[in-house]
Structure 1
Amino acid sequence: MNGMDTEEKQGRFIGVGVGPGDPELITLKALRLIQSADVISYLANAEGGSQAKSIACEAFVGVAHKQHEIAIVMPMSTDRQLANDAYDRGAKAIAHELSQGKDVVFLCEGDPLFFGSFAYLLERLEGRFACQVIPGVSSINAASSALNHPLTVLKESLAVVSGRHSPEQIDSALEQHDSVVIMKAGRARPRILMALRKTNRIQDAKYLEYIGRDNERIVHDVSTLENGAGPYFSLFVVTKSERGTR
């Protein structure tokens, strides 16, 4: 048996973006691959709940063959070692299925390569197996649509930062760029509100939670927002209050 025969028997590792929350934003290609996959994988909490699988629930209706599932239980902790251990275990389980010639589709909220957990599995597997990525609608695009407001126009600059960045980094982005999206607001919400006031961008900001889901929340006047931690799936969109037309 030569190396090519062995490679041909291996399955593909496919990262599929399922969008930010609305099941109807799943692309036709993503739908087809989810329904035809031998194995479905996703991140899950300790109780087995999965945001990505929940978003893609309609894709499983009517699937004729039995699909094996690999739930990668991710501890709710800021300890990266615990997260890395979970990714190691997940990659090992996925590699086992791939080596048996089975395609594994990993479901990822939003886009797989934009703040996506898929990236951590990809770096563990791409040197050994064929990998493919199916893009999904990101939360920043969904936020712009929910607000009916463009992220950038003309020569405006756009920066995307995380609530995990330092106060200095967030301040710098708000001062240097016309439009700023601050992802993963969550626990950092009080710091972000402070940064918006400090840089005089509080009137430029909008706040969104759970975009495209039943519990979606949009706050247009963030000066009224509670000064406490918010949910993980939340972000701020900051754009110029006045824009040129030419």
Structure 2
Amino acid sequence: MSKGTVYGLGLGPGDPDLMSVRADRILRRAAHVAYFRKEGRCGQARRIVEGLIPETAAEYPMEYPVTTEIPFEDPRYNATLSAFYADCTARLTALAEAGEDVVVLCEGDPFFYGSFMHLYTRLMGVVPVEVVPGITGMSAAWTASGAPITWGDDVLTVLPGTLPEETLAEGIGAADAVVVMKMGRHLEKLRRALAAAGKAEAAWIVEYAAMPGQQVTRLADYSEPTAPYFSILLVHGQGRRP
């Protein structure tokens, strides 16, 4: 019996209209659909495809054992997530080895800060794996801002907000254009880093890009101490123009 394929399906930033034709085609013929979520939640990836999954498809929620309950630097964090990804991989492998194709839903692009990459590295060489790229959340964010993120020879830097403050300040200061992901609980630290880099006045926050509730706000006018999980900070480049 030939093995089935595990598809890492990039769904884009939130609006189902931003899915690729290929992703839509694979999803509509899926017999097995897996997706990540927090316990008790629907999950953003599953929410994007509401009404698009075949009624006959079997669904496999993969619930994170931890998110922010344990600090990243605590050895228990990696150990717990490693065991979780190993268990998810075993479930997907069993289906694929039985000849079944499996679709794993991924918001944004599967290879850009996505959980699927942890499955991909474990599945490669064991069963066939195919990744379908998707529009990233940052692309939706700068589109929502109404301004190009880069011009001419601008250098774009993408930073996770979880980095130390000094590292953030150095990265922001060295770049022409900046995108900061994973910034919600780190907003105050990020404000200080932007100020140190001299770019606080140029920064914008985009909440829920390409989703219901999308908001674009200049950082200077943003009064909240934290931002929602689906938030991205932008500093637009101002480079060479004709």
SS where residue 241 of structure 2 aligns?
coil
Tell me which residue corresponds to 1:239: 236
Distance 1:19 1:155 in 2: 27
Aligned partner of 1:3 in structure 2 is: none
Quote how far apart the aligned CAs of 1:168 are. Answer: 2.0
In the alignment, is the contact (CA less than 8 A) between 2:154 and 2:239 conserved in 1?
A: no
For the Cα contact (< 8 Å) 2:150–2:239, is it kept in 1? no
Query: Does residue 17 in structure 1 map to residue 14 in structure 2?
Result: no
Percent identity between the aligned chains?
28
The whole-number CA distance in structure 1 between the counterparts of 2:219 and 2:135 is 25
- Could you tell me which residue of structure 1 aligns to residue 221 of structure 2? 224
Task: Specify the code of the residue in structure 2 equivalent to 1:76.
Answer: T
State how far apart, in whole Å, the 1-side matches of 2:165 and 2:125 are.
37
CA distance, structure 1, for counterparts of residue 82 and residue 208 of structure 2: 26
Structure 1 position 83, deviation (Å): 2.2
Give the drift of 1:227. 5.0
Pairing partner for 1:111 from 96, 105, 109: 109
Distance apart, 1:48 and its partner CA: 4.2
Task: Map 1:145-164; keep pairs closer than 5 Å.
Answer: 145-164=143-162
Could you say what secondary structure the match of 1:182 adopts? strand
Alpha carbons 1:207, 1:218 under 8 Å: kept: yes
| Amino acid paired to 1:238 | V
CA distance in 1, matches of 2:14, 2:215: 13
Q: How does the TM-score come out when normalised to structure 2? A: 0.92
Matching residue within 45, 64, 67 for 1:76: 67
Provide, for residues 122-147 of structure 1, a one-character-per-residue CA deviation record: whole Å limited to 9, x for no partner. 01111201110111010111112111
Q: Do the aligned residues in 2 keep the contact of 1:14 with 1:131 (CA within 8 Å)? A: yes
Residue in 1 that maps onto 2:119: 121
**Residue of structure 1 in register with 2:98 after alignment:** 100
* 1:55 maps to which of 33, 48, 54: 48
Query: Which residue number corresponds to residue 74 of structure 2?
Result: none
Counterparts of 1:1-16 in structure 2, within 5 Å, are: 6=1, 8=2, 10-16=3-9
SS in 2 for 1:59: coil
Cα deviation 1:157-205 (Å, max 9, x = unaligned)? 0111101112122111111110010001111111111111111101211
Question: Secondary structure of 1:107's match?
Answer: strand
Q: Which amino acid aligns with 2:136?
A: S
What is the root-mean-square deviation in Å for CA atoms of aligned residues? 1.5
Task: Verify the 8 A CA contact 2:31 2:102 in the aligned structure 1.
Answer: yes
Shift, 1:154, TM fit = 0.7
Aligned-partner Cα distance in 2 for 1:213–1:81 = 33
Contact 1:112 1:118 in 2 (8 A): yes
Task: Give the secondary structure class of the aligned counterpart of 1:19.
Answer: coil
Distance 1:244 1:29 in 2: 36
Moved over 4 A (4+): none
Kept in 2, the 8 Å contact 1:48–1:71? The answer is no
Match of 2:200 in 1: 202
- What is the Cα deviation at residue 12 of structure 1? 0.3
Three-state SS of the structure 2 residue aligned to 1:57 is coil
**Contact in 1 for aligned 2:145/2:206 (Cα 8 Å):** no
Tell me the equivalent position of 2:32: 39
SS at match of 1:15: strand
Residue 92 of structure 1 aligns to a residue whose secondary structure is helix
> Unaligned 5+ residue runs, structure 1?
1-5
